[in-house]
Amino acid sequence: MPDYSPLKDRFGEHCRFGEGAAGFTTYRAGGAAEVTVRPGTTEELLWLAGWCRAAAVPFLVLGRGSNVLVSDRGLPGVTALTERLDRITISGGAIEAQAGAAWDEVARLSAEAGLAGFEKTSGIPGSVGGAVRMNAGAFGQETFDRLVSLDAFDRQGKPVRLPKAGIKFGYRSVGGLDGLTVLSARFELPAGDKAVLIQDRSCVLAARAAKQPLDHPSAGSVFKRPPGDYASRLIDAAGLKGLRIGGAEVSGVHAGFIVNAGGATAADIYALMQEVRARVKAGTGVELELEQILLGEF
Ligand SMILES: Cc1cc2nc3c(=O)[nH]c(=O)nc-3n(C[C@H](O)[C@H](O)[C@H](O)COP(=O)(O)OP(=O)(O)OC[C@H]3O[C@@H](n4cnc5c(N)ncnc54)[C@H](O)[C@@H]3O)c2cc1C
């Protein structure tokens, strides 16, 4: 095992050993990360990545862990959690947000500033970095709709600014970001009617509360929308609502979600994902593609 004491010396209580994935993912399941670090500044995040590079230690960056499933075998090396890098500034129609800022704060503050374009993405529980990485979206609005540029650093620690035009993106997919750690994103939004935007936001939050199993841990939709259809419709039509493996269950509220119904292991959740895919394929011929990201060994 590498000597991690320089990390403890530098980050103190923000450096932990053996923290279970229940502590940093919304599935509240999975094994432990060898080391988790929550840097307080972008300089600290850069330093941490550089230290990992020099020590040949695996380095992974996560936001709120709301789109990942961590293996029960855990994560080797250092997992950097961006949650303390949460500054958001609004000036005119421009929004600059650090990677660890909550996406929902961007949605809330932009609506309250009378800026249109993110109100329908209200309630997505990820970070700005995760939203950009996934091109997160809802109800017809996506992160990339209003993106201007990203600031990031590459595997060598070199800073890069990527204009939107230089990034390939599509539905819940973004190309060319592998090996990049996003530090911040810049957006431009047009002016809208503040009262309408705030009302739209409230409607979206109410719709989420009504239609999603927010009382149980999950990582949102498990599968991407297949062309011309909805994964949840196919799963529901296959009669899979309530299907259970160990502590993992296909939500009875929204068939597109797998929830941790109590004490689920990552293996339970993974096995249920496979079972749902196989049964939908057998019943309809449609191959569902995973939206969620598997981390570690499965
Ligand atoms: C209840 C619920 C509802 C949801 N609803 C929606 C929805 O409506 N629409 C939607 O699109 N998603 C939804 N999601 C999924 C999830 O919230 C989004 O995908 C979100 O954008 C993930 O952000 P995160 O910070 O949690 O990313 P994480 O899960 O932490 O990471 C996801 C990926 O992004 C990478 N990443 C994270 N931060 C950085 C960074 N700074 N630099 C480089 N890479 C980074 C990680 O390495 C990983 O590969 C939902 C999830 C839940 C639990």
Joined tokens for residue 80: 């950097």
pLDDT interval class at 256 (50, 70, 90):
very high
pLDDT at 274: 98
For residue 220 and ligand 1, the question of a CB distance below 6 A is answered with yes
Q: By percentage, how much of the chain surpasses pLDDT 90? A: 99
Q: What is the pLDDT of residue 51?
A: 98
221 is catalytic: yes
Catalytic choice (110, 122, 218, 221): 221
**Mean pLDDT across 148-172:** 95
Residue 94 confidence (pLDDT):
98
pLDDT of residue 1: 80
Residue 198's pLDDT band, with cuts at 50, 70 and 90, is very high
User: 205 in ligand 1 pocket by Cβ < 6 Å?
Assistant: no
Q: What's the pLDDT tens digit per position in 218-245?
A: 999 999 999 999 999 999 999 999 999 9
Q: What is the mean pLDDT of residues 264-280?
A: 98
pLDDT digits (tens, 9 = 90+) for 64-97: 999 999 999 999 999 999 999 999 999 999 999 9
Give the three-class secondary structure for 3: coil
**Ligand 1 neighbour 131 (Cβ under 6 A):** yes
The model's pLDDT over 98-121, given as tens digits with 9 standing for 90+, comes to: 999 999 999 999 999 999 999 999
Q: What is each CA distance from 30 to 74, 90, 96, 135, 220, in whole angstroms?
A: 7, 37, 33, 25, 16
Given pLDDT bands bounded at 50, 70 and 90, which one contains residue 155?
very high
* The ligand 1 atom nearest the CA atom of 180: 43
Question: Which two structure tokens, joined as six digits, stand for 22?
Answer: 């229940």
Q: CB neighbours (10 Å) of residue 4?
A: 18
Burial (CB < 10 A; 0-12, 13-18, 19+), residue 15, is: buried
Mean pLDDT value across residues 176-187: 96
Residue with CA at minimum distance from ligand 1 atom 51: 220
Residue 168, pLDDT > 90, answer: yes
Domains in the chain, start-ordered, CATH in brackets?
Answer: 5-81 (3.30.43.10), 88-196 (3.30.465.10), 213-295 (3.90.78.10)
Is this prediction's pTM over 0.95? yes
- How many CA within 13 A on the CB side of residue 100? 18
The single-letter code of the amino acid at 253 is: V
